[in-house]
Amino acid sequence: MDRTLVDFVKVLRTAEISVSPAETLDAMQALDIVGYEDRQFLKNSLSIVLSKTPEEKEAFDSCFDRYFSFNKFKPEESEQESTDDQFDDGEFDQDAKGQGQPGGKGSDQASGQGGGAEAGEDEEDQSLQPTSELGKLLLSGDRTELSIAMAEAGKKAEVNQIVVFTQKGLYTRKIMDAMGLKELQDEISELQAEGGRERHNLAAKLKKARDRLREQVRDYVEKQFFLHADESGKQLREELLKKVKLSNLEKRNFKDVQEVVFKMAKKLISIHSKRRKTYKRGQLDVRKTLRYNMQYDGMFFDIKWKASKVDRPKVICICDVSGSVSNYSRFLLMFLYSLAEILPKVRSFAFSSDLGEVTRLFDNSNLEDAMAKTMRDYGNGSTDYGQMLMDFKHQCMDDVNNKTTIIILGDSRNNYGDAKSEILREMYDKSKRVIWLNPEPKMSWTVGDAEMKKYAPSCHQVEVCNSLTHLERVVSNLLRYAY
């Protein structure tokens, strides 16, 4: 039962219900206490342990009902109906011929020798039984045993690993094979090859039972897909979106990518939401220690350590919004503004040539409207990094200090203009960190009008950044260095 509970916890996690290892252990203890005889009592007990918010409790109820549902087989057709389908027409014709001649030969055979033959055939038909295990199970009529066998075969086939809907046929076949399909097929072939009315009759029954089983297994796999892969497929899609080059994204993907960004930001918030004070063991604060221990006549019962106050970083983000670079800027800004809980001091600037601050625009508008207005106002000029650096010096160089982190996102292609790298060196000297994120591969950094060879020496960190995974790593490092 513990294995079943662990698998159920996996289902809850795919449904975005956060369940920790400690909560899983608590659920196992609750299961030992309440047992599993009373389904509703078990459901309520696990709900208390494994779900916290109203939304999670609603999702838990749905997952529990689907996961612990028992897939019963539909009632099978009677053997008589199966026999009638195969032989009624022929028997009716023969009987009609015999009965249509009163006192004739046909009538005598029906009443005498024919009756004895039919009795003998019935006895032989009753003695002819399937030899394969699956065949015996199918004709036994025990739907509960069939359901249990299908569930066990599903575990062997690892149907809980299904990811995409197109795998439904594959897992159906795997489960059928695990239940003994090959032996059943061989038996059907042998019965048909040997001939004889009784053997053909049994082969027909097994074929119909096999087809019904296949339909039931297909339904079972489909339910498992919606249980295990509904969110797994979404997770797979998210993993792909994290790795794809942002410039290759189509507009229809932006909403999905936006959800991924918010999830990644939420994860970073949970990791880096720390107290603003950290206590460094080993640095004794003598004055505080003496003062606090005067009540103990100078005995050091309460030792005080020095505390260093850690301010949240002040971030200035400068984004090139010209051409294909605009997609990278969109998601970097989305990232930074999603981290408002731990990065409350983000100032954003956009440029293609002239630099403009868009901080208030993003604060007062939704993300899509702010990005559209930013592209319209700043994304149409000819790219000029030298002009951008001059504008930055005039507008906010005085605000840069040793607590400021400057992030520049751009390909450094300056249309052969003056690079003004000395201004970047001044920013490097005044700030805590200068980080340059370039969406192009390193081999392109010195080709054509790219100026990275001039800008890189004036940066603390230079990174290739063209996917969500890169952005997450850069922002995570930024937060790590900040505390």
Q: What is the CATH number of the domain that holds 404?
A: 3.40.50.410
Q: CA dist 167 to 151, 158, 222, 434, Å?
A: 18, 12, 10, 48
- Mean pLDDT over 469-476 rounds to 84
Same domain assignment for residues 83 and 18: no
Mark whether 325 and 354 lie in a shared domain: yes
- In the numeric block, which tokens belong to residue 58? 């609603």
Alpha helix ranges (H) inside 68-180 = 79-99, 105-111, 113-127, 133-140, 143-156, 168-179
Say what percent of the chain tops pLDDT 90.
10
Does the structure show a pLDDT above 70 at 403? yes
Residue that finishes a domain, picked among 213, 239, 265: 239
- Tell me, yes or no, whether 258 lies in a domain: no
d(CA 161, CA 233): 11
Task: Output the pLDDT for position 422.
Answer: 94
Q: For the whole model, what pTM was predicted?
A: 0.53
pLDDT score of 96: 37
* Region 199-212 average pLDDT: 88
Q: Is residue 265 included in any domain, yes or no?
A: no
Q: Is residue 92 part of a domain?
A: yes
Q: What is the pLDDT of residue 436?
A: 93
Instruction: With respect to residue 368, please indicate whether it lies within any of the assigned structural domains.
Output: yes
pLDDT of residue 105: 40
Residues 150-197 have pLDDT tens digits of: 888 888 888 877 777 778 888 889 999 998 888 988 988 888 888 788
Res 73 pLDDT > 70: no
Whether residue 63 sits in one domain with residue 27: yes
- Both 337 and 402 in one domain: the answer is yes
pLDDT of residue 428: 94
pLDDT of residue 452: 93
325 and 294 in a common domain: no
Contact 449, 441 (CB under 8 A): no
For residues 283 and 367, membership in a common domain is answered with no
pLDDT in tens, 370-399: 888 888 888 877 889 999 999 999 998 999
The predicted pLDDT at position 296 comes to: 78
Residues 283 and 402 grouped into a single domain: no
The reply to whether 261 falls in a domain is: no
- Say what the pLDDT of residue 236 is: 67
Q: Best-predicted range by mean pLDDT among 217-231, 256-270, 430-444?
A: 430-444
Q: Are residues 472 and 323 in the same domain?
A: yes
CA distance 35 to 27: 11
pLDDT at 109 over 60: no
Of 211, 239, 267, which residue is a domain's last? 239
Residues 366 and 223 in one domain: no
- Between the two ends of the chain, the Cα-to-Cα distance in Å is 45
Residue 389's pLDDT is 94
Query: Are 284 and 341 in a shared domain?
Result: no
Average pLDDT over residues 232-257: 70
**How many independent structural domains does the chain possess?**
4
Domain that holds residue 133: 79-98+127-239
The half-sphere exposure of 171 on its side-chain side, counting CA atoms within 13 A, is 29
Q: Which of 310, 331, 359 is the last residue of a domain?
A: 310
pLDDT at 18 over 90: no
Give the mean pLDDT of 352-359: 88
Average pLDDT, the chain: 77
**Position 111 in a domain:** no
Residue 249 lies in a domain: no
The two tokens of residue 198 are 């009784």
pLDDT at 77 over 60: no
Q: Do residues 17 and 47 make contact, with C-beta atoms less than 8 angstroms apart?
A: no
Handedness of CA 409, 412, 413, 418 (dihedral sign): positive
Give the pLDDT of residue 430.
93
Task: Please indicate, yes or no, whether residues 304 and 324 belong to a single structural domain of this protein.
Answer: no
> Are 85 and 222 contained in the same domain?
yes
In tens, the pLDDT along 255-269 reads 777 778 877 777 777
Instruction: Provide the pLDDT for residue 474.
Output: 83
Distance of CA 398 to the CA centre of its chain: 46
Q: Which has the higher per-residue pLDDT, 141 or 208?
A: 208
Whether pLDDT at 31 is above 50 = yes
pLDDT reported for residue 459:
94
Q: Which tops the pLDDT comparison, 219 or 311?
A: 219
In a domain, 106, yes or no: no
As a whole-number percent, the residues of the chain with pLDDT over 70 amount to 77
pLDDT band (50, 70, 90) for residue 234? low
- pLDDT for 85 equals 43
